Copies of this chain bind each other. A is one copy, B any other.
Amino acid sequence: MAPTITGLTATDLRFPTSISRGGSDAMNTDPDYSAAYVVLTTSTGVEGHGFTFTIGRGNELCVAAIEAMRALVVGLSLETIVADMAGFWRSLAGDSQLRWVGPEKGVVHLALAAIVNAVWDLWAVVEGKAVWKLVADLTPQQFVGLIDFRHIADEMTPSQALALLERQAEGKAERETRLLRDGYPAYTTSAGWLGYDDGRIRDLCHAAVAEGWSALKIKVGRNRDDDIRRCAVVRAAIGPDRLMMIDANQVWEVDEAIDWVRALARFDPYWIEEPVSPDDILGHARIAAAVHPVRVASGEHAHNRVMFKQFLQARALDVVQLDNCRLGGLNEVLAVLLLAAKFEVPVCPHAGGVGLCEYAQHISAIDYLCVSGSMTGRMTEHAGQLHEHFVDPIRIDCGRYRLSGVPGFSARMHADTISRFRFSPTQTAHAIGEAAAVLSIAV
């Protein structure tokens, strides 16, 4: 019997990560990794779990936005949703009143992701497959039916998408075998937070190399001399052949970014990430042209497929770092995978935070199996924190993701975690650090 969605709960979960300064960068100085966590209950007892990721204050706004969409979801059968998933997606993204406070960006789009991803989890659990496998087993025609092509038809129509997917259908089985055997390449962000001193960074780099990592990312952008020193520490620790990426988290002006990256170029950074405002497509394009062969990477704040379309049209990105929460869930992620494949730009999904790695492994697998058909130049981001809270946590082996075979979207947290890290509205903390203090029970 196909389940009907009979209930929706949205829970404000916050982890006090600001205390350890893990996750600190030049823009985000004190994140408390948080999730607006959705559980869909159904007529058959099966559940769908999903979440959107934030860094603390504002998580309550995503919870409220999820509540605002409740009536658009509860009462629908899974069969109805799956029969026209693009239509379902648009009915939420395009609600005639709610879209004013977006449209397709910010709080409402983050909330949309939580719901859409919970529906994916539900569907996959019902099918008894991991989400990556569920999508890989769809026909190209069914895959196209998942996507709202509105506002990207100048670069990608349903028929163009179909042709691309049909080309990649050949060899899919062989790629699946290889993926399960070898895993998917990854890089780690756990070594180089701005809050860490040089000694700690050196130790973490040595440990990462010992664990088999061949690509590491560090944060830059607060002080140029510090960055030169830190890049030297990392390059010395990892040797000349491993990749070092640098991430400025939006703090520069366009010309400042060009100068600063040139000053760090002698340490051979593989990419510079988020050099300027995440909305500044033309700024990224100028930087990309100026700092080549250093690549420009961005996307964790690129809020919809229309932004990615333009980043690609403008040749502003060498690496697409889409995010399954910033975009409106997996359906829109698939649209961006198609656009990136058309422009032959590799997708390296944004991850870290809480649960983003769990999502990202599915996206990279889908890209490899169905869309780009390639691992070249592609890596899924990895950070080491908070995986213990998940029922089906990621597995990393020698710097590669080992894919989950558990049915669902790997989004499900332990019941104990949900009750321990639930944030009460009456606790809502405004002063910096207050949220962390409230939640410090678990550090």
Question: What residues of chain A have their CB less than 8 Å away from a CB belonging to chain B?
Answer: 27-32, 54-62, 64-65, 68-72, 95-110, 150-151, 153-154, 250, 253-256, 276-283, 286, 301, 303-304, 306-307, 309-310, 313-314, 428, 430-432, 435
Contact = CB atoms under 8 A, between A and B. Distances in A.
B55 A61 contact: no
A64 B60 contact: yes
A428 B68 contact: yes
| Copies of this polypeptide in the complex | 2
Nearest to A278: B103
A95 B218 CA distance: 23
Contact of A106 (B32, B108, B282, B432): B108
Given A105-B105, A314-B282, A97 B30 contact: yes
A254 B306 CA distance: 11
Nearest to A302: B279
Contacts of A256: 153
Interface centre among A56, A106, A250 (most CB of B within 10 A): A106
B107 A101 contact: yes
Given A58-B100, A61-B64, A108 B107 contact: yes
Given A107-B101, A279-B307, A310-B282, A430 B58 contact: no
A64 B425 CA distance: 11
Contact of A100 (B55, B68, B71): B55
Given A106-B101, A109-B106, A281 B278 contact: no
Given A96-B30, A106-B106, A281-B281, A62 B101 contact: yes
5 contacts: A58-B68, A68-B428, A97-B435, A105-B106, A150-B253
Given A105-B303, A106-B101, A310 B280 contact: yes
A313 B54 contact: no
Contact of A68 (B99, B109, B430): B430
B253 A281 contact: no
Contacts of A98: 57-58
Contacts of A301: 103
Give the 7 A-B CB pairs with smallest separation, nearest first: A106-B106, A71-B430, A56-B97, A58-B101, A107-B107, A57-B97, A151-B277
Given A27-B96, A95-B57, A310-B280, A101 B105 contact: no
A60 B56 contact: no
Contacts of A280: 151, 306, 309-310
Contact of A154 (B64, B99, B254): B254
B105 A279 contact: yes
Contacts of A96: 27-31, 55, 432
Given A54-B100, A105-B105, A430 B70 contact: yes
Given A69-B430, A154-B283, 13 more contacts: A28-B100, A31-B97, A60-B68, A61-B108, A71-B430, A97-B435, A106-B107, A151-B280, A153-B256, A154-B253, A154-B255, A280-B309, A282-B313
Contacts of A307: 279
Contacts of A99: 27-28
A325 to B, nearest CB: 10
Interface centre among A96, A100, A430, A431 (most CB of B within 10 A): A100
Contact of A253 (B59, B153, B310): B153
A281 B310 contact: yes
A69 B430 CA distance: 7
A313 B96 CA distance: 31
A132 to B, nearest CB: 27
Contacts of A68: 57-58, 60-61, 428, 430
Interface centre among A31, A60, A105, A286 (most CB of B within 10 A): A105
A301 B29 CA distance: 29
A282 B151 CA distance: 12
Contacts of A61: 61, 64-65, 68, 101, 107-108
A97 B306 contact: no
Nearest to A57: B97
Interface centre among A96, A254, A307, A309 (most CB of B within 10 A): A96
